[in-house]
Amino acid sequence: MTTHEQPLESVLETIGQTPLVRVHNGPDDVPVYAKLESFNPGASVKDRIGRYMLERMLEQGDLEPGGTVVEPTAGNTGIGLAIAAGQLGLESVFVVPERFSVEKQQLMSALGAQVINTPTADGMGGAIDRAHDLADELENAVVPQQFSNPLNTEAHYETTAPEIYDALEGEVGAIVAGCGTAGTLMGLAKYAREHNPETYIAAVEPKGSLYGTVLGDDLEEGDYKIEGIGTHDPATNDLFDPSLVDEITAISDADAHAELRRLAREEGHLVASSAGAASVAANRVAERIAAGDLETPHDTVVTVFPDSSERYLSKGIYRSLEEWES
């Protein structure tokens, strides 16, 4: 990230300290700010947990020097873990459901990792099972398991959250973020609630995803194109703590797609579908605060843009909605 003004020893030192930039489609008097995580060296928010989880696991003796990391991942976590593993002298193997983008799988391989695909129909659950089987077969191998490892949440509590609070001098009214593993939102929410228990916390998922059922919402399961957030089985998302969340908002593929295209055209952000969804949801929360329908400790909303659209060009991310969805 460009704010580092001194020479650095390793790419790991460039992780974090990403920019926080105002998004300009919201109400004038309730600014929405987005944390631009594509500024990380592997171009996503997951570089943070890649470094944080492996360094802590090595320190705690849960991972041995020279060992192998095996992880089920939609891709970005594989890239983040592959960068960290390579620099920390570890091997890496990633289990990726077929539907996820080829760009991510090529990047993991370029970073020295081995990539194994599982059938799309088996979902993330299939990838998780396969990763555990592989780790059992290999010697000195561990599954960091981002879906249940508290170090995932802790990485955001220790790094992403304080960066946001420093940038805004603590004046954060609401936090709105997409949930895949929910590590990002949970880390931010825990920090926010300690800072001010009244901070409004909204989780974002694609329409068709079932996170909302955790708060008792009656939802219909369906397919979605938005990548990186959502769940078909909340039982596999151990990190999600409903007591830290005021609302779970579902965003349609169409709304996320229109917004990611607007963000590029009008604001110069090359961000992907989970950022489009987060931006729509953050803007809705800001509108409610501006209209006096929602009480927050400050009139500001913070969201996270997790990665870059360049990673999804092969999937037609900037083509029409119909072409993207086909």
Closest distance of CB 5 from ligand PMP, Å: 29
Residue span binding ligand PMP (CB under 6 A) among the ranges 81-89, 227-235, 245-253, 257-265 = 227-235
Using CB under 6 A as the binding rule, whether residue 306 contacts ligand PMP is answered as yes
Q: Which of 283, 307, 309, 317 binds ligand PMP (CB under 6 A)?
A: 307
**Residue 172 touching ligand PMP (CB under 6 A):** no
- Active-site annotation holds for 46: yes
Tell me if 81 sits within 8 A of 115, measured CB to CB: no
* Nearest distance, CB of residue 95 and ligand PMP, angstroms: 14
Piece in contact with ligand PMP (CB under 6 A), picked from 121-129, 223-231, 259-267, 315-323: 223-231
Query: Is 274 a catalytic site residue?
Result: yes
Pick the stretch among 14-22, 27-35, 136-144, 222-230 that binds ligand PMP (CB under 6 A): 222-230
Count of residues that bind ligand PMP according to CB under 6 A: 16
**With CB under 6 A as the contact rule, which of the stretches 110-118, 173-181, 193-201, 287-295 interacts with ligand PMP?**
173-181
User: Considering the complex, what minimum distance in angstroms separates the CB of residue 278 from ligand PMP?
Assistant: 8
Q: Which of 128, 140, 141, 156 lies closest to 51, judged by CA? A: 156
Which of 274, 296, 308, 309 touches ligand PMP (CB under 6 A)? 274
- Tell whether residue 155 is a contact of ligand PMP (CB under 6 A): no
Residue 184: CB minimum distance to ligand PMP, A = 3
Query: What part of residues 44-83 is at the interface with ligand PMP (CB under 6 A)?
Result: 74, 76
- Complex with ligand PMP: residue 228 or 234, whichever CB lies closer: 228
Q: What is the 3-state secondary structure (H, E, C) of the chain?
A: CCCCCCCCCCHHHHCCCCCEEEECCCCCCCCEEEEEHHHCCCCECHHHHHHHHHHHHHHHCCCCCCCEEEEECCCHHHHHHHHHHHHCCCEEEEEEECCCCHHHHHHHHHCCCEEEEECHHHHHHHHHHHHHHHHHHCCCEECCCCCCCHHHHHHHHHHHHHHHHHHCCCCCCEEEEECCCCHHHHHHHHHHHHHCCCCEEEEEEEECECHHHHHCCCCCCCCCCCCCCCCCCHHHCCCCCHHHCCEEEEECHHHHHHHHHHHHHHHCCCECHHHHHHHHHHHHHHHHHHCCCCCCCCCCEEEEECEEHHHHHHHCCCCCHHHHHC
Measured from the CB atom, the residue of 131 and 289 that comes closer to ligand PMP is 131
How far apart (Å, rounded) are the C-alpha atoms in residues 312 and 212? 27
Beta carbon of residue 99, minimum distance to ligand PMP (angstroms, whole number): 13
* The one among 182, 280, 285, 294 contacting ligand PMP by CB under 6 A: 182
Q: Tell me which residues touch ligand PMP (CB under 6 A).
A: 74, 76, 178-184, 227-229, 272, 274, 306-307
Catalytic residue positions? 46, 274
